[in-house]
Amino acid sequence: MLGSMQDWPLVVPSILDHAARFHGEREMVTRSVEGPVVRTNYAQVHSRARKVAKALTRHGIKLGDRIGTLAWNTARHMEAWYGIMGIGAVCHTINPRLFPEQIVYIINHAEDRMMFVDLTFVPILEKIAKQIDVVETFVVLTDKAHLPQTSLRNVVAFEDFVGDVDDDFKWVKFDENTAAGLCYTSGTTGNPKGVLYSHRSNVLHAMAVNTSDCIGARSVDTLMPVVPMFHANAWATTFACPMTGSKMVMPGAKLDGPSVYELLDTEKVTITAAVPTVWQMLLSHMEANDLKLPHLRKVMIGGSACPPSMIETFEKKYDVEVMHAWGMTEMSPVGTIGSYKADMENLPWPEQLKIKSKQGRAMFSVEMKITDDDGKDLPHDGKIFGHLIVRGPGVARAYFKGEGGRYGTDSILDKDGWFDTGDIATLDELGFMQITDRAKDVIKSGGEWISSIDVENIAVGCPGVAQAAVIGVAHPKWDERPLLIIVRKPDAKVTKADVLKYLEGKIAKWWMPDDVQFVNEIPLTATGKIQKVALRQQFKDYKLPAA
Ligand code: ADP
């Protein structure tokens, strides 16, 4: 027997309809790419998104067409997103930090018919213009006055694009399983692969992210996603905020410590989200200038492991709750979140810090488990680690155009519908997951595994250390041994002996790095993670002292 409730499709434009209808006056504040901080609200964003939709339709864009965006977090970018998705076209967010060849590859692979681009990124497109013939029109996210001289063909300023039409437009009707967004993974090996979100998966994921144990933004909150919209939908905040009527603060092109601090402070931001490298810049700025953030209550940190020293600084020095989260592009992207369970709030701080340093527990709509190499389930005891596999309505079942499919199909799942995350992790009795390593980064020493993340996390707590990375280096007896690579804080004099002494007693003896090398810079990926592949390449001729 079927239930007799309304069949109301879970589609993204209904989120913005709700925001305009019930939170129309709520602000969206942007540090514009042109410079000044500009203000709009959900009612205006809704109106202009419908103008985008109408203008796209006039340009012949239809259901299922892909439209690229190469843009920062701004209100104009949001208007473009909702306009694109509102006609059932697919919003393809492109990470501008990818190599130009990768950008060429994904634009062609996605067959983007149109491109919305920020002023900052026009030069990137000019350089590759001859290789991306698929793009018919370039809409530069600015007004006529700021439109630069450019060699790109068919260029129009966004303000003219929306200025030519009115907002009398009804969203196109389509099935909730229609594709809404396309986001390519960084592709550390091989070509980037496209994850194709549906309207249904985006709406469900935003609802899950909005639960109080997760980001849990409320209408009274002000949320600043520092994590870019091209990094897995700014972790769903682009849908979660309009759903609740939270004020949004968009940092635009400036993600350095002073700029991020200024917006957090002046806009009285209560919740924010980004990768650890962003927070490292903010914290050094705050520490150097003796600053505080009295309004900030929650910071979501994920994308790579958050060092305990960073958690402690936010919680104890600045009284900001840290939510350590884990996820991936293929998961919409949030999988786990480190909020306390009953009774944990009363534990002594050192024990709480241990819990917070784990990547957290699965939110509703995410199932996960760990398995051995043969796919057999492993116990959840917080010690044994294995392959972390997941499933749920926000998890991809295939990549765009069937790339990477298995068993002769486009599916990337095993026979029971599980997706292998490529991460190695433990799961404890209470459901808290801790990432040991990416499967390809774990260091195999004498048949045992060393977690590079654990050693890095502790090493960054050593005074004078700004960044730390650990890679495995070939060893005649042990197969591989850990090499610790460090970037010193400005003016710090920390030595190899200091670092090794600091690690003593904090990690198992046989995990001790065989050597410490100091560098000026550690290469980061397009999403701000340590680029282990590049680092291994950089040290390919390096020989360990004892080897
Ligand atoms: P990319 O940055 O390569 O485009 P993702 O953002 O999807 O891709 O990266 C997902 C991966 O990032 C995860 O599989 C995991 O290895 C790593 N990751 C994400 N969050 C965390 C975290 N909190 N701690 C450790 N690793 C994390």
Asked whether residue 304 is assigned to any structural domain, the reply reads: yes
Element at 493 (helix H, strand E): none
Range of the domain at 202: 13-365
- Give the ligand 1 atom nearest the CA of 305: 24
- Give the ligand 1 atom nearest the CA of 184: 4
Paired tokens of 99: 């190599």
pLDDT of residue 187: 62
Asked whether residue 45 is assigned to any structural domain, the reply reads: yes
Domain endpoint, select from 347, 365, 383:
365
Same domain, yes or no: 361 and 446 = no
How many domains does the structure of the chain reveal?
2
Q: What is the pLDDT of the chain when averaged over all its residues?
A: 95
**Residue 185 Cβ < 6 Å to ligand 1:** yes
**Residue 451 Cβ < 6 Å to ligand 1:** no
Same domain, yes or no: 445 and 358 = no
Q: Whose CA is nearest to atom 6 of ligand 1?
A: 328
The preferred substitution site among 435, 442, 452, 457 for testing ligand 1, maximizing ligand atoms within 8 Å of CB, is 435
Domain harbouring 262, CATH code: 3.40.50.12780
Q: How far is the CA of 151 from the centre of ligand 1 (A)?
A: 37
- Give the ligand 1 atom nearest the CA of 325: 23
Same domain, yes or no: 332 and 195 = yes
**Residue 238 Cβ < 6 Å to ligand 1:** no
Give the pLDDT mean for 121-139: 98
Cβ–Cβ < 8 Å for 360, 325: yes
Same domain, yes or no: 353 and 451 = no
Same domain, yes or no: 233 and 135 = yes
- Give the ligand 1 atom nearest the CA of 331: 7
Asked whether residue 407 is assigned to any structural domain, the reply reads: no
Sequence-distant contacts of 34-43: CB under 8 A, at least 24 apart:
34/119, 34/142, 34/146, 37/263, 38/75, 40/75, 42/16, 42/242, 42/245
pLDDT of residue 169: 98
Same domain, yes or no: 340 and 459 = no
| pLDDT tier at 408, thresholds 50, 70, 90 | confident
Asked whether residue 133 is assigned to any structural domain, the reply reads: yes
Q: Residue 527 pLDDT more than 90? A: no
| pLDDT tier at 446, thresholds 50, 70, 90 | confident
Domain endpoint, select from 324, 341, 365:
365
pLDDT, tens digit (0-9, with 9 covering 90-100), for 74-121: 999 999 999 999 999 999 999 998 889 999 999 999 999 999 999 999
Same domain, yes or no: 311 and 448 = no
Asked whether residue 426 is assigned to any structural domain, the reply reads: no
CA distance 405 to 11: 27
Question: Percent of the chain having pLDDT more than 90?
Answer: 89
CA distance 340 to 438: 25
Closest CA to 161 of 114, 204, 125: 114
Same domain, yes or no: 327 and 456 = no
Domain endpoint, select from 323, 345, 365:
365
Asked whether residue 163 is assigned to any structural domain, the reply reads: yes
pLDDT, tens digit (0-9, with 9 covering 90-100), for 472-498: 999 988 899 999 999 999 889 999 999
Domain harbouring 530, CATH code: 3.30.300.30
Q: How far is the CA of 88 from the centre of ligand 1 (A)?
A: 29
- Give the ligand 1 atom nearest the CA of 324: 23
Same domain, yes or no: 203 and 314 = yes
pLDDT of residue 189: 63
**Residue 436 Cβ < 6 Å to ligand 1:** no
Q: Whose CA is nearest to atom 10 of ligand 1?
A: 328
Asked whether residue 4 is assigned to any structural domain, the reply reads: no
Same domain, yes or no: 207 and 118 = yes
Paired tokens of 358: 């784990």
| Residue 336 neighbours by CB under 8 Å, 6+ apart | 325, 326, 327, 359, 360, 361, 362, 363, 366, 368, 433
Same domain, yes or no: 185 and 310 = yes
Same domain, yes or no: 360 and 489 = no
pLDDT, tens digit (0-9, with 9 covering 90-100), for 257-297: 999 999 999 999 999 999 999 999 999 999 999 999 999 99
Asked whether residue 329 is assigned to any structural domain, the reply reads: yes
Element at 428 (helix H, strand E): none
Instruction: Please state, as a whole number, how many other Cβ atoms lie within 10 Å of the Cβ of residue 97.
Output: 17
Q: Whose CA is nearest to atom 1 of ligand 1?
A: 186
**Residue 217 Cβ < 6 Å to ligand 1:** no
Q: How far is the CA of 232 from the centre of ligand 1 (A)?
A: 11
Catalytic residue annotation? 185, 330, 444, 449
Q: How far is the CA of 525 from the centre of ligand 1 (A)?
A: 11
**Secondary structure (DSSP) of 155-208:** EEEHHHHHHTS-S--PPPP--TTSEEEEEE---SSSS--EEEEEHHHHHHHHHH
